[in-house]
Structure 1
């Protein structure tokens, strides 16, 4: 089975760009009730994942950082501690199950590394739970 059958397409996924500010990223996380969010660059390529923890560490390690000055901090300036690996859209389920065990979502990219969506661990678990027969 190809993973594309589990794909939640990019137009249905919240994501941020590497040029956004820390405050904008925080607002996206809050609005969508996410704990982590994919980051794409200006070319649409997946470059990583930003987590709530990354924002908290930046806040803790930056003296004088306030909600107002968060507008001046770009996502690209925030050290990321979570590394969600991506998979190619033509990968098989077996190829990405290991990733899904450690990540809430797995970013999916095409052959040119352009971000095309995610696969949620929740959807994989639901599929396997409903298809397990004794």
Structure 2
């Protein structure tokens, strides 16, 4: 049986798993839902971070949140897409970790979320850590253990 404590895996820093902010699709807090839906559709993601003009993290917007907002009792209300703003629909309580956060916290958050946002102490968006990146690193470390 492989123990993660016996490997170097738990010693990885969050920086090694980080996808930097400049490479992460996002929307701004004042964008319309139409714009957010276009970003989500074109990138193929189901959720993206919501930032303000100063790059502070405010939440996440997702396709299900947008669709729930425009779905009425009898029809889909497409007019809400350009009339509603991201800030009124976004999820504010999101999985996030600070740049000086612990690896174990990131790991526990990624069990239930496909990615977590990383922010600095002032709330500025630094990037994301994906479940995929963590699993790839785990796979690499397990392979190294098995080779020894």
2:139 maps to: 129
1:94 and 2:104 correspond? yes
1:7 maps to: 18
> Counterparts in 2 of 1:1-134, with a 5 A limit?
1-61=12-72, 65-66=77-78, 68-78=79-89, 80=91, 83-132=93-142, 133-134=145-146
Does the aligned pair in 2 maintain the 1:2–1:91 contact within 8 Å?
no
Spell out, residue by residue over 1:59-87, the C-alpha distance to the aligned partner (whole angstroms, 9 max, x if none): 11487721x5411210112153x843210
Of residues 3-12 and 56-65 in structure 1, the stretch that sits farther from structure 2 once superposed is 56-65
Give the drift of 1:41. 2.0
Structure 2 residue runs without a partner (length 5+): 1-11
Does the aligned pair in 2 maintain the 1:2–1:90 contact within 8 Å?
no
2:59, 2:133 → 1: CA distance? 21
Count of equivalent residues: 132
Give the root-mean-square deviation of aligned CA atoms: 1.9
Give the drift of 1:10. 0.6
Q: TM-score, normalised by structure 2?
A: 0.81
Q: TM-score, normalised by structure 1?
A: 0.89
- Alignment partner of 1:37: what SS? strand
Structure 1 stretches (4+) deviating beyond 2 angstroms?
Answer: 61-65
Spell out, residue by residue over 1:69-113, the C-alpha distance to the aligned partner (whole angstroms, 9 max, x if none): 411210112153x84321011223112111111111110001111
Choose 1 or 2 for highest CA Rg: 2
Does the aligned pair in 2 maintain the 1:59–1:65 contact within 8 Å?
yes
